[in-house]
């Protein structure tokens, strides 16, 4: 290690359902953590919004709580959070309207317009991605098209974690990993694309400066530091989007390393030492959280969110551990029952905002245990599709580390092992994106010489959940049926979505 040997590193995660602050020591062990929730608004089908000021209220609360619990000096703060969201600010830095979030699906028309203006091939060549409803660029065009009075007030546009940075430090800055999820970044130069900004008529001065994730990008303002109990001038690392930060915290910083995350969404994340682009746009290609590194990721929009929906809809009153116990009572394959987890549309592999969820194969013999397990298996099948695409790009897969809330469930891990056909390991320390943000803060303040050095404190648990051969064979057969169902049902799904939009 380079830098001081005593002190704490803090990571702050602005998630979809709440903010979380985590302080760790220089060996990576947690010292203190705090969480605070905030609401999610769905004013119309396919719309998801939040008031950024609720993030700020929660961020202040969790930072102050963690700071008060420490008996050692904080050395730096790293930021992470939900990707793709659009925070629109006026000339006085006031929020113009609720932020449009990563899983908002209202921008299909704008995605078509972007593809026509830039060209599909050109868009992928520059940004590594096709136009997807969740990204930030189509949200900007939606505001221009649908709320022109609000659009005329825009003077800056920030991602969720970077709104918190501005409130903490006064700086407008972002990092390359989060910025590459806007559809406005040149993946190779790791800076905003003048060509795309010109084609979409988006002003460069509206966008923040782009840093690498381990660079310093601001310092906590003195008056704010005092009120939060933080040291004056505490350095703030550029940080990373939540998936890239979680990958740093999971040691996914070398070839062959892959993580599988089940949170609200599900993400298969694979390291790459160069940009890898899926020509059909089914996987997303982004910058990693440190210089010269990249990653590809596949996203299931409703992973843990599917299980939460089932819990809330079925009215069982069970917690997640109890749901897993209920699911374990049903046999693998659920006696011919399959669940399609397209409750918020789908990203990988279908890029379809109008996809809809479904149980297929229901029979009188099926019980709540079957339905619960089917939901969990459907999510695992979707993540399996993501991993298949990673392999199709020629990326090696030598190990898979489970992360997110789903990693705490033995059943979730075993389902992934059986579907992927690979051992699944957890990390010794599994504290999510906030942990990776804290490690990036450690690089920014000189505690670690590089992001590579942080791998030394990120170790996998010695235990692995290994595939069961018989279940693996069954799931291979069922996955082929699962893979066929989208094509068979896409047209009626779209017709139902159109009725819903009337």
DSSP per-residue letters across 224-275: HHHHHTPPTT-EEEEEEEHHHHHHHHTT--STTEEEEEESSSEEEEEEESS-
Mean pLDDT of the chain: 93
pLDDT of residue 57: 98
pLDDT of residue 4: 53
Three-class secondary structure of residue 211 per DSSP: strand
Phi, psi of 199 (to 5 degrees): -65, -35
C-beta separation of 405 from 379 below 8 A: no
C-alpha of 328 from chain center: 28
Q: Is the per-residue pLDDT at 461 higher than 60?
A: yes
Q: What is the CATH number of domain 300-425+468-501?
A: 3.30.420.40
pLDDT of residue 499: 85
pLDDT of residue 398: 87
DSSP β-bridge partners for residue 287: 294
Q: Which H or E element spans position 173?
A: strand 173-175
Task: Identify the band that residue 264 occupies on the pLDDT scale cut at 50, 70 and 90.
Answer: confident
pLDDT of residue 470: 97
Question: Would you call 242 a catalytic residue per the annotation?
Answer: yes
pLDDT of residue 238: 98
Q: What's the average model confidence in pLDDT over 283-301?
A: 93
C-beta separation of 24 from 7 below 8 A: no
Where are the domains positioned within the chain? 8-250+430-462, 300-425+468-501
Write out the two tokens for 165.
């940075």
pLDDT of residue 11: 98
Per the listing, tokens 């939540």 go with: 242
Q: Is the per-residue pLDDT at 465 higher than 90?
A: yes
Fold of 8-250+430-462: Nucleotidyltransferase; domain 5 (3.30.420)
Question: Which of these, 23, 156, 27, 13, lies nearest to 86 by C-alpha position?
Answer: 156
Please pick, among 178, 242, 352, 430, the residue that the annotation labels catalytic: 242
pLDDT of residue 428: 75
pLDDT of residue 198: 98
Question: Which of these, 487, 436, 484, 458, lies nearest to 239 by C-alpha position?
Answer: 436
Strands 173-175 and 209-211: parallel
Give the span between the Cα atoms of 5 and 350, in whole angstroms.
48
pLDDT of residue 502: 57
Give the span between the Cα atoms of 90 and 150, in whole angstroms.
9
pLDDT of residue 250: 87
Q: Is the per-residue pLDDT at 330 higher than 80?
A: yes
C-alpha of 257 from chain center: 18
Across 288-422, the runs of DSSP E, i.e. the strands, are 294-300, 338-340, 358-360, 399-403
C-beta separation of 380 from 342 below 8 A: no
pLDDT of residue 105: 87
Examine domains 8-250+430-462 and 300-425+468-501 and report if their fold is the same. yes
pLDDT of residue 351: 83
Task: Identify the band that residue 381 occupies on the pLDDT scale cut at 50, 70 and 90.
Answer: very high
Question: Which of these, 231, 447, 260, 218, lies nearest to 348 by C-alpha position?
Answer: 260
Task: Identify the band that residue 263 occupies on the pLDDT scale cut at 50, 70 and 90.
Answer: confident
Q: Is the per-residue pLDDT at 315 higher than 80?
A: no
Q: Is the per-residue pLDDT at 2 higher than 80?
A: no
Three-class secondary structure of residue 445 per DSSP: coil
Give the span between the Cα atoms of 379 and 374, in whole angstroms.
9
177-189 tens-digit pLDDT: 999 999 999 999 9
Percentage above 70 pLDDT, the chain: 98
pLDDT of residue 269: 94
Q: Is the per-residue pLDDT at 390 higher than 60?
A: yes
Q: Is the per-residue pLDDT at 3 higher than 70?
A: no
123-153 tens-digit pLDDT: 999 999 999 888 999 999 999 999 999 999 9
């Amino acid at each position: 290690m380079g830098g001081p040997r005593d002190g704490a590193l803090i990571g702050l995660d602005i998630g979809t359902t709440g903010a979380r602050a985590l302080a760790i020591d220089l060996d990576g062990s947690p010292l203190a953590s705090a969480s605070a929730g905030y609401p999610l608004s769905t004013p119309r089908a396919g719309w998801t919004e939040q008031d950024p000021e609720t993030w700020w209220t929660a961020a202040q609360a969790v930072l102050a709580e963690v700071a008060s619990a420490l008996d050692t000096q904080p050395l730096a703060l790293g930021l992470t959070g939900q990707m793709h969201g659009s925070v629109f600010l006026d000339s006085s830095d006031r929020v113009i309207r609720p932020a449009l979030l990563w899983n908002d699906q209202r921008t299909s028309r704008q995605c078509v317009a972007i593809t026509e203006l830039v060209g599909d091939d050109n868009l992928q060549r520059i940004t590594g991605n096709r136009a997807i409803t969740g990204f930030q660029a189509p949200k900007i065009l939606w505001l221009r098209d649908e709320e022109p009075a609000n659009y005329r007030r825009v003077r800056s546009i920030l991602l969720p974690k970077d709104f918190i940075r501005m409130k903490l430090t006064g700086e407008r800055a972002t990092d390359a990993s989060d910025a590459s999820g806007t559809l406005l970044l040149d993946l190779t130069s790791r800076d905003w694309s003048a060509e795309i900004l010109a084609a979409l008529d988006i002003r460069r001065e509206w966008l923040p400066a782009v840093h690498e994730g381990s660079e310093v990008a601001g310092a906590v303002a003195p008056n704010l530091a005092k009120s939060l109990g933080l040291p004056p001038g505490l350095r703030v690392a550029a940080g990373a989007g939540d998936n890239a930060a979680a990958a740093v915290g999971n040691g996914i910083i070398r070839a062959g390393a892959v993580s599988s995350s089940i949170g609200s969404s599900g993400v298969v994340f694979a390291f790459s030492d160069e940009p890898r682009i899926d020509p059909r746009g089914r996987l997303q290609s982004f910058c990693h959280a440190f210089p010269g590194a990249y990653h590809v990721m596949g996203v299931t929009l409703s992973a843990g969110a599917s299980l939460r929906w089932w819990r809330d809809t079925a009215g069982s009153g069970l917690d997640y551990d109890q749901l897993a116990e209920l699911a374990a009572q049903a046999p693998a394959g659920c006696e011919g029952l399959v669940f399609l987890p397209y409750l918020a549309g789908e990203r990988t592999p279908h890029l379809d905002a109008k996809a809809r969820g479904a149980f297929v194969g229901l029979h009188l013999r099926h019980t709540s245990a079957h339905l619960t397990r089917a939901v969990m298996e459907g999510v695992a099948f979707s993540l399996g599709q993501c991993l298949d695409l990673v392999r199709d790009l020629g990326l090696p897969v030598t190990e898979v580390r489970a992360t997110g809330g789903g990693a705490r469930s033995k059943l979730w891990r075993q389902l992934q092992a059986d579907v992927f056909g690979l051992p699944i390991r957890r990390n010794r320390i599994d504290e999510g994106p906030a942990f990776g943000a804290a490690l990036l803060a450690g690089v920014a303040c000189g505690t670690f010489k590089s992001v590579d050095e942080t791998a030394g404190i990120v170790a996998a648990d010695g235990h692995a959940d290994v595939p069961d051969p018989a279940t693996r064979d069954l799931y291979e057969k069922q996955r082929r049926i699962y893979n066929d169902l989208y094509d068979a049902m896409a047209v009626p799904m779209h017709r139902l979505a159109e009725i819903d939009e009337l």
